[in-house]
């Protein structure tokens, strides 16, 4: 047997923010795993976490994982998400366990004094944007050397408005990567303006119906979803919003709009969390909202945080409405009506939700996002979208993702510096 026949294939590290509970990020790891059959795949984030009870993965901190692969330079794939604009302090807050949250929030001044040193101490990654890995941020050649560095359908819709030092660091990391694809035109334009060649590829979550339809149908047949169907014989709207929608005035407006929507459509409402990490969704806000609704509006708060239960909840709904981009994308993958909610303060801003929708979805489907005082009208508009257009859009984006991922798959294990 030849020596080459004994050579182990280069391991593949799938890296991302699936080291915390966030719906979309948890899905990215599953999509990457399914799209890389037969490879030696490892999952890494900034923290050591086990998210398997929520349908996620056992995730290793990147530095610890690289140490175990000493002598085997891995390929590293950034699995997707709004990684390009997340600074180290924001990452630390979202990763903070409950007992450490207040101390982490209070550490912002220390982080501002020397962001890279702070991130090195916290994560073992000397970077202002630690979810954007490069050979330089991981220490360069040696035991932490990397083979190929790939950015897969990542986002940074507001990168142009972020801190200049962070932006320069991110652009340098992308310039040094072997392959870059981004999920929206806003991010693509920023990179293009700085001479970075990037491909435009839809978000990985467009694949959930195609890759995991059987798993999701199985979850939908379980007792929780059966109980919802019994409670809402005319169907329900899957509704979600992040904790920053939780002030009294906003909840009053949302209650009024949900009551209006229920009267018009006859639909019930199921409130669910698309993320349980800090700065994500808060079930206490849902309970406060439910207490404001009319007795004529049927409402339920969905307790499960399992990623497949959440997918099943959306897949069996009549319409999705919320602040989560991946709530929208999963609804899209199942050819369902959808619309995003946004705060008044975000109306003129570029957001990841509007950036993705305006890049990939026909205008006839629904507005990209509506304000909280337009929620009922937004859902009504979304429900008028032609079923054939919804199906065609879902199929088209899944096809585009497969095509966009193929250069990543074919390039793994190669040692040249570029795919082209």
Three-state SS string over 129-152 comes to CCCCCCCCCCCCCCCCCCCCEEEE
Q: Give, as one character, the DSSP assignment of residue 7.
A: P
- Is 146 or 377 the better-scoring residue by pLDDT? 377
CB 227 within 8 A of CB 300: no
Average pLDDT over residues 190-202: 96
Q: What is the mean pLDDT of residues 109-127?
A: 93
HSE value, Cβ hemisphere, 13 Å, CA-based, for 250: 16
Number of helices (H) and strands (E), helices first, in the chain?
A: 18, 14
Cα dihedral across residues 49, 52, 54, 55: positive or negative: positive
Per the CB < 8 A criterion, the answer to whether 54 and 26 are in contact is yes
Q: Percent of the chain at pLDDT above 70? A: 94
> Are 206 and 329 spatial neighbours (Cβ–Cβ below 8 Å)?
yes
Banded pLDDT at 349 (limits 50, 70, 90): confident
- Whether the per-residue pLDDT at 140 is higher than 60: the answer is no
CB 270 within 8 A of CB 317: yes
- What is d(CA 314, CA 203) in angstroms, rounded to the nearest whole number? 17
Tens digit of each residue's pLDDT (9 = 90 or more) over 228-244:
989 999 999 999 999 99
3-state SS, residue 199 = strand
Residue 256 main-chain phi, psi, to 5 deg: -60, -45
208-223 average pLDDT score: 95
Residue 7's pLDDT is 54
pLDDT at 359 (0 to 100):
96
Nearest to 85 by CA among 180, 171, 159, 191: 159
- List the beta bridge partners of residue 341: 370
Has residue 66 got a pLDDT over 70?
A: yes
Rounded to whole angstroms, the Cα distance separating 414 from 75 reads 9
How do residues 351-382 score in pLDDT, each as one tens digit? 999 999 999 999 888 788 999 999 999 999 99
Q: Which band of pLDDT confidence, cut at 50, 70 and 90, is reported for residue 325?
A: very high
The residue-averaged pLDDT of 56-73 equals 89
- Which of the two residues, 353 and 8, has the higher pLDDT score? 353
Q: How confident is the model at residue 10 (pLDDT cuts 50, 70, 90)?
A: confident
- Split at pLDDT 50, 70, 90, the class of 144 is low
Q: Are strands 41-45 and 49-50 parallel, antiparallel or unpaired?
A: unpaired
Provide the β-strand partners of residue 61.
45
Rounded Cα distance between 264 and 257, Å, is 11
pLDDT of amino acid 346: 62
Mean pLDDT within 191-205 = 97
φ and ψ at residue 193, rounded to 5 degrees: -65, -20
| Cα 284 versus chain centre, distance | 23
pLDDT of residue 379: 97
Mean pLDDT across the chain, nearest whole number? 92
Is the pLDDT confidence value at 416 over 60? Answer: no
H helices of 334-386, where? 352-360, 375-382
**Which single residue is written with the structure tokens 């349980």?**
276
pLDDT at residue 100, as a whole number: 92
Alpha-helix runs per DSSP H in 41-87:
62-68
Q: Token pair for residue 306?
A: 């399992």
**Residue of 144, 177, 176 whose CA lies nearest to 63:** 144
Candidate from 142-156, 212-226, 262-276 with smallest mean pLDDT:
142-156
Parallel/antiparallel/unpaired status of strands 49-50 and 58-61 = antiparallel
**pTM of the predicted structure, to 2 decimals:** 0.93
Calpha distance 333→211 (Å, rounded):
10
pLDDT at position 149: 95
Our CA dihedral for 28, 29, 33, 39, rounded to 10 degrees, sits at 120
Residue 24, pLDDT above cutoff 90: yes
H/E element, 122: helix 115-123
Q: Is the pLDDT of residue 143 over 50?
A: no
Q: What pLDDT score was predicted for residue 347?
A: 65
CB-based contact 181:152 (threshold 8 Å) = yes
């Amino acid at each position: 047997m030849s020596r080459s026949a004994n050579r182990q294939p280069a391991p593949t590290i799938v890296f991302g923010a699936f080291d915390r509970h966030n719906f979309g990020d948890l899905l990215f790891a599953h999509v990457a795993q399914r799209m890389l059959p037969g490879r030696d795949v490892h999952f890494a984030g900034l923290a050591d976490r086990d998210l398997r009870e929520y349908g996620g993965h056992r995730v290793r901190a990147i530095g610890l994982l690289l140490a175990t692969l000493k002598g085997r330079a891995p390929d590293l794939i950034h699995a997707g998400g709004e990684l390009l604009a997340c600074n180290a302090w924001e990452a630390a807050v979202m990763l903070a366990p409950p007992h450490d949250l207040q101390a982490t929030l209070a550490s912002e001044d220390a982080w501002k004094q020397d962001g890279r040193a702070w991130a090195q101490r916290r994560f073992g990654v000397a970077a202002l944007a630690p979810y954007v890995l490069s050979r330089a941020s991981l220490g360069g050649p040696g035991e932490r050397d990397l083979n190929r560095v790939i950015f897969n359908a990542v986002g940074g819709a507001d990168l142009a408005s972020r801190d200049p030092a962070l932006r320069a660091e991110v652009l340098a990391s992308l310039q040094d990567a072997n392959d870059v694809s981004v999920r929206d035109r806003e991010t693509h334009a920023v990179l293009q303006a700085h001479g970075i060649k990037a491909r435009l590829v839809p978000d990985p979550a467009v694949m959930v119906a195609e890759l995991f339809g059987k798993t999701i149908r199985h979850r939908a047949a379980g007792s929780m979803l059966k109980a919802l169907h019994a409670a809402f014989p005319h169907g329900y709207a899957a509704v979600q919003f992040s904790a920053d929608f939780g002030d009294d005035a906003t909840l009053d407006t949302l209650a009024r709009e949900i009551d209006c929507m229920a009267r018009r459509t006859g639909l019930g409402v199921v409130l669910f969390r698309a993320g349980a990490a800090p700065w994500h969704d808060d079930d206490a806000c849902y309970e406060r909202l439910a207490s404001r609704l009319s007795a004529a509006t049927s409402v339920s708060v969905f307790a499960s945080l399992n990623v497949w239960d959440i997918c099943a909840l959306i897949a069996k709904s009549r319409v999705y409405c919320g602040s989560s981009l991946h709530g929208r994308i999963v609804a899209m993958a199942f050819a369902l009506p959808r619309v995003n909610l946004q705060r008044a303060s975000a109306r003129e801003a570029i957001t990841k939700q509007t950036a993705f929708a305006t890049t990939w979805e026909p205008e006839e489907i629904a507005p990209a996002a509506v304000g909280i005082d337009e929620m009922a009208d937004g859902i009504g508009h979304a429900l008028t979208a032609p079923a054939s257009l919804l199906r065609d859009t879902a199929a088209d984006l899944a096809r585009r993702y497969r095509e966009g991922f193929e250069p990543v798959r074919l390039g793994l294990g190669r040692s040249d510096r570029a795919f082209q």
